[in-house]
Structure 1
């Protein structure tokens, strides 16, 4: 009701999934290739850019699993397969999850399953930390931030 009663300026205060994916694609290509998606020509053949030919690579650190984590990792296959633009695969993949493959859930899917979907390359370093993220993530962040 806040947009209707005038307390909010409009109804478009939250980005849609498509807007988020477009923004993520632009950020990813800008970060790894130094250009925008619109500036890149369609690839002639394989759109994979070897890591050494990229401006830089970006790793993917996922806390938890399932669809929420799958949405952003799909930006690379979207750029390759749908847009036919060149970019590198993710530089690494690390996931903290307490869901193991033995439970048969999507959240417990092993990282190598992401290779067949074009999300990761066979040479992408992949790590899974099977633990409670509320314990492990703060420890990792503390180490990275030198706390």
Structure 2
């Protein structure tokens, strides 16, 4: 319980702005990036917002995510984020418009579809070396800060 931890002198820092900057920094420093969304709603938007954060707020255009897979039981006609299509994400700059062939929505229960997709992927490609992104986070944040400062200077001219 966070409240109990705080009373015991061990507060857990909750900083959504820092979370956004950290995910944007990791996206900035990646040569390619993609999304595997299980479900939708706020968690879906949280990672997808990294591209608009870079392009619309920090003026660093990465062009959008290169890959997008979503497993959802929701469909687009209801108008909710969970059922929003990859094309909707393209209009916000979240997915690269030139990468639409790298997008797919699986309309299924995630507890059925994800284990099947994961097993198939591992059977075809095997394990890859871990990227250890958390260990690279400070360097990525520094690069994000440098790039954002450079863009601010360019706009000020």
Report TM bin, short chain. 0.7 to 0.9
Q: Which has the higher contact order (CA 8 A, sep 6+)?
A: 2
| RMSD after superposition | 1.8
| TM-score where L is the length of structure 2 | 0.68
Of 111, 114, 120, the residue aligned with 2:95 is 120
Whichever structure has more helix as a proportion of its residues is 2
- 8 Å contact from structure 1 (residues 98, 131) kept in 2: yes
Q: Are residues 14 and 136 of structure 1, via their aligned partners in 2, closer, same or farther at CA, if it must alter by over 3 Å? A: farther
Of 54, 59, 84, the residue aligned with 1:79 is 54
Which aligned segments of 4 or more residues in structure 1 are displaced greater than 4 angstroms?
A: none
| TM-score where L is the length of structure 1 | 0.72
Cα distance per residue 1:93-117 (max 9 Å; x no partner): 1100000123343311111111211
Give 5+ residue unaligned stretches, structure 2.
127-157
Q: Are residues 30 and 104 of structure 1, via their aligned partners in 2, closer, same or farther at CA, if it must alter by over 3 Å? A: closer
CA shift for structure 1 position 2: 2.6
Give 5+ residue unaligned stretches, structure 1.
32-55
Count of residue pairs the alignment pairs up: 119
